Amino acid sequence: MTWKFELVYGPNGRALGGLAWDGKSMLVSDAMDLKILSFTEGAKEPAVFRKWTNRVNGIAFGPGGVLYGCQEGSRRVIEMKPDGSSVVTTTVLDGAQYNHPYNATIDKKGRVWFSDRLHAVLASGPQVFPYLPHQSVLRMTLMGRPHTEWHVERLTYDTKSPRGVAVSPDEKTLYVAETDTVPGGVQELRAYPILADGTLGPCTVLHSFGADYRGVHRGIDGICVGKDGHIFACAGWSRSGPGATVYVFNPDGRIAESHAIPEGTPLNCAFGGADLSTLYVTTREGHVYRTKTGYTGHLLYKAA
Amino acid sequence: MLDVDMTAKGFEKIVTPESRLDVIAHDLMFGEGPVWNKRTGEFYWVDIIGDTIWKWKPGGARSVVVRPSYRADGLTFDLEGRLVVAGWSWRRVWRLEHDNTITTLCSEFEGQKLNSPNDIVVKSDGSIWFTDPSGGLNNVEMHGDDVQRYMDYHGVFRISPDGKTTTLVVKDLTYPNGLAFTHDEKQLYINDTRENNIRVWDVNADGTLSNKRMFCELKGPEAGVADGMKVDVDGNVYCTGPAGIHVHDKNGKMLGRILVPGHTTNLGFGDEDWKSLFITTYSSVFRVRLGVAGLPVW
């Protein structure tokens, strides 16, 4: 079907990133303004869902309606509680501080999968903690009896710049947007089999982006999955390649559909709306678009 | 001889040919809160990330005062010689009683949790003044239980001598950090880390402040920001800044800089004659003997 992108908000001049459908509204991180905005259908203006987030970017609801946030400005993953308080979950992998957690998704077991990247903007406070020697997808699992301790694992050993992460509805595959926009950088949509022991097998590449004299064709940043297994991906820009696009991939990597967005550089996307068929798309320039899609999103958790 | 630069006439009275850096500690994660206990002849400081309040007696070994310290930051003593703590990520001002129990003095204002109390000073009437920026909520590996900021401002507060009332005395600074009274307590200096400057106010008898004005800017291309600040008996103002410690006279004229290895966080006068300057950096505590005494701490 034809997608008709409706401009819901912006552009406000700042990259708008993480999205999470809370059951009634779409939450959107305005990381550099230290806020999470809330978009409700019919409302003229977004409401402020959370202030002073210190650059929370990727957000995702988990079991019990807990909202997890990748707090780039503090190099950690936090839990934003319904009472308004925020608690730190984890900050380190094997004793060494994270880079800047970027995007997160939560699986049926409540495990938090997130990409951990370098960021041009430094985190708060004294720069006394070195970065990890790698940029990887990590996973937090609540362990122990009672379930109060987070166990953190490194999952990818072949990523240099992981961005969007999503787990397939059957939870057999982890999709990673590996996008390194430097010349010669790898720009791939990857599918890693999730093995029985929880680790990942070698990935297959579902799609790859090239380059020409105008520069690299910008690869994928944010991704999400539909309930039938499709992967929805934000990629492209105006300076090279086919332009700013939201792709719909079949699980085997075949492009099912692609849609140009009206303006801006697409950054992230998520399904919302009463029937979960509305795709919200954010841009680097600070737009929020939405469109009916003919697909249904894969939603495990929402606000309590 | 101590490394100094940008010196003007008068600085030779402060830093003498005998002044040199002694290393008191060199194994910290984030040193802060230097304060001298005149009753016991001991020097106190904190390691914020190391989560400890330390003390050291000259000639002796150092020992733990409180651990975990709940990310304690600025320290001072009240009129009864009790340690009063700007609790940073614990989001409160607290007091260590003589029996080693802890009393919370202030944790919220107008129904909102404090941000993260950073530095603290006690006036001769017993009132407690502290700055409350939000860094303790955001800084990497300094977090406490709740990292959500609720206040839309970074305030400076005063707790009344009876401990019953907290008032907001300054609301419009970007990032208030160090604060220090003049010797007659008629003026209060407050610095701003983000703006790298020091402002001064007149202190009114009712505990309010007025006549806000710029005192000086802390200049230099080197790393270093306005953080800890103290005043000596001649009225000179010592403040951390680019390259180390900047000393200005009471009119705001630059007298010179004490160059400190590492990133300076705070300073405090001590020893019996108050002529030792204790300096904290991320990793270390230094002591340097000066020619001028600092204002004593209760």
> How close is the nearest chain B Cα to the Cα of A53, in Å?
7
Using the Cβ of A126 and the Cβ atoms of chain B, whether some distance falls under 8 Å is answered with yes
Query: Mutating which of B148, B154, B225 best tests the A interface, going by the most A Cβ atoms within 10 A?
Result: B148
- Which of B48, B108, B141, B175 would you mutate first to test chain A, the one with the most A CBs within 10 A? B141
Q: Are B146 and A86 in contact (CB under 8 A)?
A: yes
Q: State in Å, rounded, how far the first CA of chain A is from the last one.
A: 33
**Residue A147 pLDDT > 70, yes or no?**
no
Distances (CA, A) of A2 to A6, A282, A295, B84: 13, 19, 12, 66
Maximal C-alpha separation, chain B: 53
Instruction: Report d(CA B155, CA B86) in Å as an integer.
Output: 13
User: Which among B139, B145, B148 has CB closest to A125?
Assistant: B139
Cα separation of A282 and A265, whole Å? Answer: 8
Confirm or reject contact between B262 and chain A (CB < 8 A).
no
Residues of B in contact with A123 (CB under 8 A): 140
Helix count and strand count (H, E) for chain B: 2, 27
Q: How far apart are the CA of B116 and the nearest CA of chain A, in angstroms?
A: 13
Report the pLDDT value the prediction gives residue B185, as an integer from 0 to 100.
Answer: 98
How deeply is B120 buried, as exposed, middle or buried, from its count of CB atoms within 10 A (0-12, 13-18, 19+)?
A: buried
Cα B256 from Cα B290, distance rounded (Å): 13
Instruction: For domain B29-232, give the fold.
Output: Neuraminidase (2.120.10)
Half-sphere exposure of A94 (CA within 13 A, CB side): 7
> Mind listing the pLDDT tens digit of every residue in chain B (298 residues)?
789 998 999 999 999 999 999 999 999 999 999 999 999 999 999 999 999 999 999 999 999 999 999 999 999 999 999 999 999 999 999 999 999 999 999 999 999 999 999 999 999 999 999 999 999 999 999 999 999 999 999 999 999 999 999 999 999 999 999 999 999 999 999 999 999 999 999 999 999 999 999 999 998 999 999 999 999 999 999 999 999 999 999 999 999 999 999 999 999 999 999 999 999 999 999 999 999 999 999 9
CATH class of A6-292: mainly beta
The predicted-structure confidence for A280-293, as pLDDT tens digits, reads as follows: 999 999 999 999 99
Q: Which residue of B has its CA nearest to A84?
A: B148
Inter-chain residue contact A97 with B139, CB threshold 8 Å: no
- pLDDT value for A247: 98
Cβ–Cβ < 8 Å for B73, B79: no
Pairing outcome for strands B31-37 and B42-47: antiparallel
Is B139–A86 a contact, with Cβ atoms under 8 angstroms apart?
no
User: pLDDT value at position B106?
Assistant: 98
AA letter at A191? A
pLDDT tens-digit map of B189-210? 999 999 999 999 999 999 999 9
Cβ of B150 within 8 Å of Cβ of A125? The answer is no
Interface A-B, measured as beta-carbon pairs within 8 A, has a size of 62
Sheet containing strand B276-281, edge to edge, reads B22-25, B285-289, B276-281, B264-270
pLDDT of residue A146 exceeding 90: no
> What single string gives the DSSP state of each residue in B254-265?
EEEEEE-SS-EE
Q: Say how far residue B70 (Cα) sits from the centre of its chain.
A: 18
Go through A54-66 and write b for each residue having 16 or more CB atoms within 10 A of its CB, e for each that does not: bbbbbbbbbeeeb
pLDDT of the residue at A181: 84
**Partner B contacted by A76 (CB < 8 A):** yes
Q: Is the pLDDT of residue A145 over 90?
A: no
CA distance A131 to chain B (A): 12
Looking only at the bridges linking them, the beta strands covering A67-71 and A76-80 are: antiparallel
Q: What is the pLDDT of residue B268?
A: 98
Q: Does residue B139 sit at the A interface (CB-CB below 8 Å)?
A: yes
Query: What pLDDT is stored for residue A1 in this prediction?
Result: 81
pLDDT of residue A83: 94
Write out pLDDT tens, residues B13-52: 999 999 999 999 999 999 999 999 999 999 999 999 999 9
CA dihedral B164, B167, B173, B178 (to 10 degrees): -30
Instruction: Report the gap between the CA of B261 and the closest CA in chain A (Å).
Output: 15
Mean pLDDT of A163-190: 95
Among the partner-chain residues B30, B140, B150, the one whose CB lies closest to the CB of A74 is B140
Q: How far apart are CA A53 and CA A36, in angstroms?
A: 7
Look over chain A and give the mean of its residue pLDDT values, rounded to a whole number. Answer: 96
| Chain B residues close to A51, C-beta within 8 Å | 149, 152
Q: Which of residues 127-166 of A touch B (CB under 8 A)?
A: 128-129
Spatial strand order in the sheet of A245-249? A220-225, A231-235, A245-249, A255-260
> pLDDT-based confidence at A183, cuts 50/70/90?
confident
Report the chain B residue with the minimal C-alpha distance to residue A55. Answer: B138
For residue B30, give the nearest of A88, A91, A126 by CB distance.
Answer: A126
- Identity of the residue in A54, A85, A91 whose CB atom sits nearest the CB atom of B138: A54
pLDDT of residue A212: 93
A247 vs A231: CA distance, rounded Å: 8
Selection from A64, A54, A102, A150 nearest residue B147 by Cα: A54
8 A C-beta contact, residue B108 and residue B116: no
Measured CA to CA, the distance from residue A146 to residue A162 in angstroms comes to 32
Which ipTM did the prediction report?
0.93
Domain ranges of chain A: 6-292
CA–CA dist B95, B101 (Å, integer): 8
Choose among B140, B149, B152: nearest Cβ to A123: B140
